[in-house]
Chains A and B, each alone.
Chain A
């Protein structure tokens, strides 16, 4: 990091000037895809989805047998959705993300229409909140679609703003207004959690894009009392807060779920009671196969299982951030950051709720919880992310640099770390042809550090597979 700030980038201004015009309008000059999607991320997602099917079966079999007469009820459905979801993910990964740009406003429009449709009563309600619209076999949650739409719109808009991102009127206000509209619509459902998520998402993307920290800080200051009022204004939200603060005082009331969940985790101990042997799923833990599936995992597989699970989510976040830093352009960076946050925040929130670290909030554990809609949305999001991860050629000669980086990345980084100097210094001819590869190599290493990956091996593999990042500097 220290080196990064002192990094001389002589070629950057000159190289980027012409490129800017190429990306000035959407639909033009989409960079050529020259590499495959991130295989580590793909593998992690497929593994999670598969694991999810197993755990959904384990958690739901007793309930399903009692309710539907067959223990396989949820297994069959989740299996089908898993195949569908992974298929969709791979398909979407092949769809160039630049092509979303012309669709930005239509997608945002559809999301708003769906949110409004839910509000006016087209949706299906559960627990006092109208959140779903049944489309065919799946219940579409407009709030989820709205989040994806918002990510695409923010990425598009922020990448267009350029230096004006630092201004209040152009860089800050419009984004906050659109996000605010979506938040309002979500609040109306009422879906407090989605509103918070949208706020955080906007905050993170504005931060990433370089909005003034002062504005962001000020908006937090404004939002806090508002959030406090929103929480205290509804009895059920207060109940949830109280249940969170002391679940056992509300053991048979609002704290029931969280108390059972804590028991499940605790009962698992270091190694768990064994796959399929959960006792909490005997109707003790409501929603065992959906929102609280992590509690069943914790009980059946113990600390070891949850540790592995968290590691996989950490890996997904790490890969997502890495993709963000390696994206062909800002648009891709913002999409990657947004989707990574979207997935990571869901995973964190769900786990934190189940472990009693956050108030109860109906949120799925991405890729694991039962539910077709959420699985499809998350898979679609990863699909987009995977497409961003694909190496792209920005100007002629990129491939050359790529070949070199592939040739011996370990050597390059090892030398770099030993010399404490720019890796670029060890690849003079290629660096001359384009500045991009140098940056990519350096970033590879930084990426590894930042995400806490093992320095040499993983980095090397990553660098190798990611080939060249076009136009990164």
Chain B
């Protein structure tokens, strides 16, 4: 070409050269970049891409099963399905379709739309659990159409189930999802992640580390919509990598759910109360019963705000574990320990007599007795629960020895059962009285001796203390779990009874006390004599009627019902069979009035149910433990 004379060939060449140069540079740039991406950085890109196309599926660990001492299932797992939605992948029609498949009503659909809209942007590419524990029809409908709905996943998520429902709820406990605070508190290395469940109460919380197990993982090849691809040949995923989950250990409790049931029957007439039964030879806790209660399954399913509020507002305080979280004035159930203090301090002996004229004059103060008992010795004072005797006893013994003996029997310190943040109870000292009321008065000692004062104890503490009375002075640690087992039933760990301390008590002293306790139930004039079952299991024990402190008057209850909440708490603490004690029992009927009338009959009934068949042949014991 170059037809035009205007143009010099040189000029065109020059420009042509530039163009060619640019073309070469451009292609070299491409090649350089290509080499950088594929040759130099290839491996790291491969790693990123691999991360991108694989998904780690969490394989949840099966939580351990909780059984009672006789192998009955208390807590287990029920197969259930959750609906996970990925907001990013859902269009409006998808949501409508899901609502239709799930058979949601208008309100349910609107709620779903609202909840989906509320998902923050950074979470929109994640699977979010929208429905839990869907029913069979919903499951079938969703599974059938899952392929058409890329944003939908139906995932198996076992739900904790409690066959006994509300029975023993406080001791068994429940679980729910970890929240942000938990995750922060537990830290990363704990292995908890959002969506995990964690024990919140009772055994479920206390034995979380055994029950929980360890989650597993599976790395699978997925497409961008998270659907699993079968072809995992490339990217070095010859086989899907599986790190199998380790199921949690099963926990076998000392509890006896049959006993719990009988306790429930025995307390049927009372709105609120609690019962603890422990094995006197091992400290094994056979029953931890707190009433009123709540259904654990409801808690696990996610209780509505109103239901929870109702539980919170209930004047009988169903959310409180009355066996060990709450402590009470022990009332007259404290008297055996006062008596032991007097015997050990040699201030009184079995023959010491006190004249009861219905009251005890201390300075200008006149302290009343339940009746006019006349001249009583220690045994009679226990049997008939004469306050005047114990006032006199207190004056001779003093506060400090009373407290020391109470402490020997485990009062005022936590038992270490390991669940439900148990109360330590309280033993008021002189200093405490001085600090609290300005000065210490002898009257405070007198009140302490009859379990009023400011001594507080939990039912569990009392049960163990009575267990120590029954077994000759061995205070056990309470034992709620008997053994830890693998899912297949093989033993992981057998938990042996643990002795808290051996209390050195002269057997003569102890015999005097236990003889008195026998009399309470089995002798005419005994405070629990009316509760005895003739021909049944022989029960020893002590009734108690703990007055409600004026200052502790409940203000949260309807004034029209307030009278009820001013009634005394009824106690019965004891053990059976009297001749060869097996279990100690403490029954508290809140606002039940007199212990002999309200608490002793259920206690005897419970013991009869529990021991009746087994100990019918045990020779009866009359009058004294010495016959054993």
Contacts and interface: CB of A to CB of B under 8 A. Distances in A.
Interface of A: 1, 4-5, 7, 9, 12-13, 16-17, 19-20, 23, 62, 162-163, 204, 207-208, 210, 252, 260, 262-270, 273-274, 277, 279-280, 282-284, 298, 302-303, 306-307, 310, 313-314, 317-318, 321, 324-325, 327-330, 332-333, 337, 344, 348, 351-352, 355-357, 446, 450-452, 471-473
Contact of A163 (B4, B26, B234): B4
Nearest to A286: B224
B2 A12 contact: yes
5 contacts: A12-B2, A263-B48, A269-B39, A279-B221, A357-B30
A298 B38 contact: yes
B1 A450 contact: no
Contacts of B357: none
Contacts of A7: 9
Interface string B43-77: 11110111011000000000000000000000000
Contacts of A252: 125
A249 B349 CA distance: 86
B340 to A, nearest CB: 73
B229 A270 contact: no
Nearest to A450: B20
Contacts of B193: none
B494 interface: no
Contacts of B19: 204, 207-208, 321, 337
Contact of A303 (B24, B39, B223): B39
Contacts of A310: 27, 30-31, 34
Given A1-B17, A327-B1, A337-B19, A262 B27 contact: no
A340 B592 CA distance: 102
Contacts of B5: 12-13, 16-17
B136 interface: no
Contacts of A268: 38, 42
Contacts of B233: 277
A352 B26 CA distance: 10
Given A266-B37, A279-B221, 4 more contacts: A16-B2, A210-B15, A268-B38, A324-B16
A361 B53 CA distance: 25
B20 A321 contact: yes
B13 interface: yes
A330 B23 contact: no
Contact of B234 (A273, A302, A450): A273
A329 B224 contact: no
- Majority SS at the chain B contact face: helix
Contacts of A324: 16
B33 interface: yes
B24 A329 contact: no
B1 A332 contact: yes
B73 to A, nearest CB: 44
A260 B20 contact: no
A369 B326 CA distance: 76
B44 A313 contact: no
Find the residue from A306, A318, A356 having the highest chain B CB count within 10 A.
Answer: A306
A343 to B, nearest CB: 11
Contacts of B6: 162-163
Interface string B410-423: 00000000000000
A313 B4 contact: no
A355 B38 CA distance: 10
A20 B1 CA distance: 11
A155 to B, nearest CB: 12
Contact of A307 (B3, B31, B229): B31
Contacts of B46: 266-267, 269
A17 B50 CA distance: 67
Instruction: Output the residue of A252, A333, A355 with the most chain B CB within 10 A.
Output: A355
B563 interface: no
Nearest to A341: B19
Contact of A283 (B2, B48, B225, B234): B225
A355 B34 contact: yes
Contacts of A313: 27
A79 B15 CA distance: 40
A273 B30 CA distance: 21
A433 B50 CA distance: 68
B13 A452 contact: no
Most chain B CB inside 10 Å of its own CB: which residue of A12, A19, A356 = A12
Contacts of A328: 1
Interface string B228-240: 0100011100000
Interface string B458-482: 0000000000000000000000000
A266 B12 CA distance: 41
B225 to A, nearest CB: 6
Contacts of B48: 263, 266
B6 to A, nearest CB: 3
Contacts of B27: 310, 313-314, 317, 348
Nearest to A271: B38
A20 B4 contact: yes
A12 B2 CA distance: 8
B10 A210 contact: no
A266 B52 contact: no
Interface in B228-264: 229, 233-235
B3 A267 contact: no
B29 interface: yes
A141 to B, nearest CB: 24
A327 B1 CA distance: 7
B35 interface: yes
B4 A1 contact: no
B34 to A, nearest CB: 5
Contacts of B15: 207-208, 210
Contacts of A277: 233-234
Contacts of A13: 5
B34 A303 contact: yes
B561 interface: no
A266 B1 contact: no
Contact of B38 (A9, A306, A330, A450): A306
B556 interface: no
Contacts of A269: 38-39, 42-43, 46
A351 B15 CA distance: 26
A12 B24 CA distance: 30
Contacts of A352: 29-30, 33
A329 B42 contact: no
Contacts of A344: 23, 26
A451 B19 CA distance: 10
B367 to A, nearest CB: 77
A209 B26 CA distance: 22
Contact of A321 (B2, B16, B229): B16
A208 B42 CA distance: 40
B188 interface: no
Contacts of A298: 34, 37-38
B123 to A, nearest CB: 11
Among B11, B18, B20, B234, find the residue whose CB has the most chain A CB atoms closer than 10 A: B20
